[in-house]
Structure 1
Amino acid sequence: MSEKIYNMVDLETIEKLADIVAAKELGEITIADGEKYITVKGKKCLPPMPLAGAPVAASPAVSAAAPAETPAVSQKPAGKSIKAPLVGTFYAAPSPDQPPFVQVGDTVKKGDVVLIIESMKLMNEVTSDVDGVVQEILVKNGDAVEYDQPLMILS
């Protein structure tokens, strides 16, 4: 690590950030002070996605690990998905002693609150942007969620 980084953030802060990334199973965390910033990446950090239309080169490791047969069933869940609008912690209910907002089989109307995502100590209600019936809830209460991660499938 360069001396420049030590002047910006002390080692203790970097270690605390690394602990947070590991404990919350985050892909990465960034802190900024003006134009200075530091990013700590965890094990769940995904490689950058290629731009649309850009050719993707297959690496030998990926080719060797690719399955010999493509499954007939699509991996993408059928139906309309409700995705995480921000990074945080998923909660199915308004508080631990109350029932969940929705369960599998419940009918949801556009604008209904379906879950909460806690981010930076703030509880953010997430509403459905479509009408439908809850087919599947893809995450468990208390799970860390990433931006744009599918959380719920409606039919």
Structure 2
Amino acid sequence: MEINDIIKLMEAVSENGLTRFTLEEGNLKLSIRKEKEVVTLSSGPVVERQVQAGEFVQTVQAAPAVTAAAAGAVEDISSDKIVASPLVGTFYNAASPDSDPFVKVGDPVKKGQVLGIIEAMKLMNEIECEYDGVVEAILAGNEDVVEYGQPLFRIR
């Protein structure tokens, strides 16, 4: 693969709004990822900026308080009724930006009820509840990128 082919792929990823792209061809493995740069001010809000394709990004370690909060959220999963992500993609809690969320904390749910949507490769995949019960916690935010097996909902 020539450098011009790689540049064309980077431009295509950027133009199509993709955040990740992986290509495996023979013994070549190419992975392109577009990240958000997050800047935390000590007394202010979190500021995000989209990083353009080909732009160098220096990774900064998160503040210990943020790391502890994220670790606490994972350890806080006490229920054995967890609905996990079946694939990698972008999680949406509603059918459209202007509609109500599928479920909220405290809502009763039935097996087979739609809890959210994961968009992967421009396909919308409904996430159905695997249990009857009540939504105890929603572990992913709207438009968060989720990984395979990541806990999304806790049902009691």
Asked whether 1:30 is paired with 2:31, we answer no
Q: How many angstroms apart in 2 are the aligned matches of 1:95 and 1:131? A: 25
Of the two, which has the highest radius of gyration? 1
CA 1:146–1:43: 2 relative to 1, 3 Å: same
Q: Deviations over 1:112-151 (max 9, x none)?
A: 1110001111111110111121111111111111111111
CA 1:136–1:97: 2 relative to 1, 3 Å: same
CA 1:132–1:41: 2 relative to 1, 3 Å: farther
Aligned partner of 2:130 in structure 1 is 129
Q: 3-state DSSP class of the match of 1:102?
A: coil
Asked whether 1:84 is paired with 2:85, we answer yes
Asked whether 1:105 is paired with 2:106, we answer yes
Structure 1 gap segments, 5+ residues each: 45-73
How many residues in Structure 1 have an aligned counterpart in Structure 2?
Answer: 120
Matches within 5 A, 1:64-75: 75=75
Q: How many angstroms apart in 2 are the aligned matches of 1:37 and 1:125? A: 34
Aligned partner of 2:53 in structure 1 is none
Aligned partner of 1:62 in structure 2 is none
Asked whether 1:140 is paired with 2:131, we answer no
Q: Is the 8 A contact 2:91 2:143 kept in 1?
A: yes
Higher strand share: 2
Matches within 5 A, 1:13-28: 13=8, 15-16=10-11, 24=19
Structure 2 gap segments, 5+ residues each: 36-73
Q: 3-state DSSP class of the match of 1:153?
A: strand
Tell me by how many angstroms 1:19 deviates. Answer: 5.9
Q: Is the 8 A contact 1:104 1:135 kept in 2?
A: yes
Q: Deviations over 1:73-131 (max 9, x none)?
A: x8150111111111111100111121111000011111111100011111111101111
Tell me by how many angstroms 1:17 deviates. Answer: 7.7
Taking only aligned residues, the RMSD between alpha carbons, in angstroms, comes to 3.5
Q: Is the 8 A contact 2:89 2:145 kept in 1?
A: yes
CA 1:109–1:81: 2 relative to 1, 3 Å: same
